[in-house]
Amino acid sequence: MQDNRFSCGPGISKETVCIETNRILDSCRDRDCFENAKVFLTDCGKEIIEHTNAIRVKSACIAQTHISLDPVQFNRGFYTVNIRFYVKLTFEACIGNGRSQEFEGIAVLDKRVILYGGDCNVSIFRSSGDFSDFCTQVDPCCKEKSVPTAVIEVIDPIVLGVNIFENTKDNCCCCCCANDIPESVVLTMNGGLVDDEDERRYLAVSLGIFSIVRIVRPGQFLISASEFVIPDKECVSPSNDDPCSVFNSMAFPISEFTCTSGSGHHHHIDKAPGKCGC
């Protein structure tokens, strides 16, 4: 399957063409540590943390992200990128008698960076609709402003810690309340989120996030391009072999059984074919 790649035949002519695409104007990479971020829980989760002190995080993923741009005053061409992560977490808690129970929660994290996004005040109109009919009524063209777009790439959060705190007005700090969480995020939960200011205890997590943020803007560019040619490779159809034949044709996953040492060196043991080398 690795050889099934697109290839251009010999003698392909190249020319300079103009294309319209996005251009990266500015970008940055960052690592953020969000310490003791409050977790919004369901009624079930609230009841569990009221009766346990043994809890761990089983998984964490970013369920949704909200991104907005604000121009920086007195610094033309620069924008503040406001990023809000909605992190869905799955917890496991000991509830006594050697039993455990899982429950879910949402942590809300805010991040802000300043990047250069250029300065352009043109309006863009694009044609739309079907003009094949003779009597078609032409709709007005949609108007677009030439504004930059923020893009963020992020990996799943790294769980650094989880704690249960006694609720006091001094130590509970959160950037929003349960009603501010989008409905599309809440629907991924096993129940609705509750936010009780009079709660006795609350759950908090510390998360680490690696991210790359960039600002792009549409533009026209000249590039060197080749004409499209018909591929000389034939399409590969799925095999109709029985499952055992497909399994027997797979390479043995040696790397999955190899433990890498801290120094990066591996110790190899010579063994005869068909022997385990024990």
Cα–Cα distance measured from residue 141 to residue 126, given in angstroms and rounded to the nearest whole number: 6
- Domain assignment present for residue 242? The answer is no
- Domain assignment present for residue 85? The answer is yes
- Domain range spanning residue 167? 22-128+139-221
- Domain assignment present for residue 89? The answer is yes
For range 107-134, the mean pLDDT: 80
- Domain assignment present for residue 12? The answer is no
- Domain assignment present for residue 2? The answer is no
For the cut 50, the answer to whether the pLDDT of residue 271 exceeds it is: no
- Domain assignment present for residue 251? The answer is no
Q: Among 26-35, 92-101, 249-258, which range has the highest average pLDDT?
A: 26-35
For the cut 50, the answer to whether the pLDDT of residue 176 exceeds it is: yes
More confident residue, 222 or 228: 222
Q: Is 152 exposed, middle or buried (0-12, 13-18, 19+ CB in 10 A)?
A: middle
Cα–Cα distance measured from residue 176 to residue 195, given in angstroms and rounded to the nearest whole number: 10
**DSSP three-state, residue 246:** helix
Q: What pLDDT score does 132 carry?
A: 62
Handedness of CA 270, 274, 276, 278 (dihedral sign): negative
Q: What pLDDT score does 134 carry?
A: 59
Q: Is 242 exposed, middle or buried (0-12, 13-18, 19+ CB in 10 A)?
A: exposed
Helix (H) or strand (E) holding 126: strand 123-126
Cα–Cα distance measured from residue 40 to residue 178, given in angstroms and rounded to the nearest whole number: 7
User: 129 pLDDT band (50/70/90 cuts)?
Assistant: low
Cα–Cα distance measured from residue 112 to residue 34, given in angstroms and rounded to the nearest whole number: 13
More confident residue, 270 or 80: 80
Cα–Cα distance measured from residue 232 to residue 4, given in angstroms and rounded to the nearest whole number: 11
Instruction: Report percent pLDDT > 90 for the chain.
Output: 35
Residue from 74, 69, 62 nearest 32 by CA: 62
Query: How many folded domains does the chain comprise?
Result: 1
What global pTM score does this model have?
0.73
* Half-sphere exposure of residue 217: CA atoms within 13 angstroms, side-chain side: 21
For the cut 60, the answer to whether the pLDDT of residue 269 exceeds it is: no
For range 89-112, the mean pLDDT: 90
For range 228-250, the mean pLDDT: 73
For range 58-83, the mean pLDDT: 93
For the cut 50, the answer to whether the pLDDT of residue 274 exceeds it is: no
- Domain assignment present for residue 134? The answer is no
- Domain assignment present for residue 178? The answer is yes
**DSSP three-state, residue 160:** strand
More confident residue, 129 or 125: 125
